[in-house]
Amino acid sequence: MNRPTGYEPLYALKAVAPDVWIADGGWIRFYGVPFPTRMTVIRLAGGGLWLHSPIGNVDGLADAVAALGPVRHLVAPNWIHYAWVPEWQARFPQATTWGCPGAAERAASRGMHLALDHELGDAPPGAWAGEIDQRLARSGFHREAVFFHRASQTLVLTDLIMNFEPAKMPWWTRPLLRLGRACDPDGRMPRDIAMGFLPQAEHLRDVVEAMIGWDPARIVIAHGRCYDRDGTAELRRAFRSVM
Ligand SMILES: [Fe+2]
């Protein structure tokens, strides 16, 4: 969908920290509800780029991304964030593709082939170990890898915190988002994802404690307003029900 999302300019790199950029994209529908999309780009120490949750309109963004450095890694960070990975693979065939457990299967269930080189695990692979920390949160419903860029103290989440700004959302979605506990400034783990983690509360607590231990300065998320300061305090707020 090409109508404004409130995060214009779309398909433009926006610096959020040294060697970290975001790019906002158009809407994607999930069970009928429109979600604004966002990708994150991190430049690793060797100069290669790590692309988290690539957004659509590759042609409108690829040249700007390539100007930052060679695209080395495409990351589908959770089981439902992979929609435009194939387009980026086609544009940057030399890149390695990493996918969250469950992503390829979900894509296949919708008639889409998602070709992954590697599955993401509960620890960073050698390709970015020492620069980006990583854990894997998994419930029976949701699976998501979380990342922490050490140099910039940036935590990169996908759906574990959603922080929709109601004024930027279609009016009819606002009651749903409030019910889902996903509204700015008190964006949290959406209620459906949180319920899925109830049987794995101890595991989730372990992942949240690891994220708090990273002591992030900021949190970049895929949907809604990012938290550009006090990252650790925002984690304690957002996950207060599991701590
Ligand atoms: Fe999402």
How far away, in angstroms, is 78 Cα from ligand 1 center? Answer: 8
User: Could you give the CA distance from residue 1 to residue 159 in angstroms, rounded to a whole number?
Assistant: 20
How far away, in angstroms, is 28 Cα from ligand 1 center? Answer: 9
CATH topology (fold) of 13-238? Metallo-beta-lactamase; Chain A (3.60.15)
- Ion ligand 1 neighbours (CB, 5 A) are 159, 222
> At 31, is the pLDDT very low, low, confident or very high (cuts 50, 70, 90)?
confident
How far away, in angstroms, is 228 Cα from ligand 1 center? Answer: 19
Q: How is residue 206 written in tokens?
A: 């372990």
How far away, in angstroms, is 223 Cα from ligand 1 center? Answer: 6
How far away, in angstroms, is 107 Cα from ligand 1 center? Answer: 14
Percent of all residues in the chain with a pLDDT value above 90, rounded to a whole number: 96
Pairing of strands 143-149, 154-156: antiparallel
> 67 — alpha (psi -120 to 50), left (phi > 0) or beta?
alpha
| Domain residue limits, the chain | 13-238
How far away, in angstroms, is 180 Cα from ligand 1 center? Answer: 13
How far away, in angstroms, is 222 Cα from ligand 1 center? Answer: 6
The predicted model scores a pTM of 0.97
How far away, in angstroms, is 16 Cα from ligand 1 center? Answer: 20
How far away, in angstroms, is 44 Cα from ligand 1 center? Answer: 24
How far away, in angstroms, is 238 Cα from ligand 1 center? Answer: 17
3-state secondary structure the chain: CCCCCCCCCCCCEEEEECCEEEEEEEEEEECCEEEEEEEEEEECCCCCEEEECCCCCHHHHHHHHHCCCCEEEEEECECCCCCCHHHHHHHCCCCEEEECCCHHHHHHHCCCCCCCCEECCCCCCCCCCCCEEEEEEECCCCEEEEEEECCCCEEECCCCCEEECHHHCCHHHHHHHHHCCCECCCCECCHHHHHHCHHHHHHHHHHHHHHHHHCCCEEECCCECCECCCHHHHHHHHCCCCC
Residue 154 has pLDDT above 60, yes or no: yes
What does the pLDDT look like over 66-89, one tens digit per residue? 999 999 999 999 999 999 999 999
What does the pLDDT look like over 201-234, one tens digit per residue? 999 999 999 999 999 999 999 999 999 999 999 9
- Burial pattern 141-177, b for ≥16 Cβ within 10 A else e, equals bbbbbbbbbeebbbbbbbbbbbbbbbeebeeebeeeb
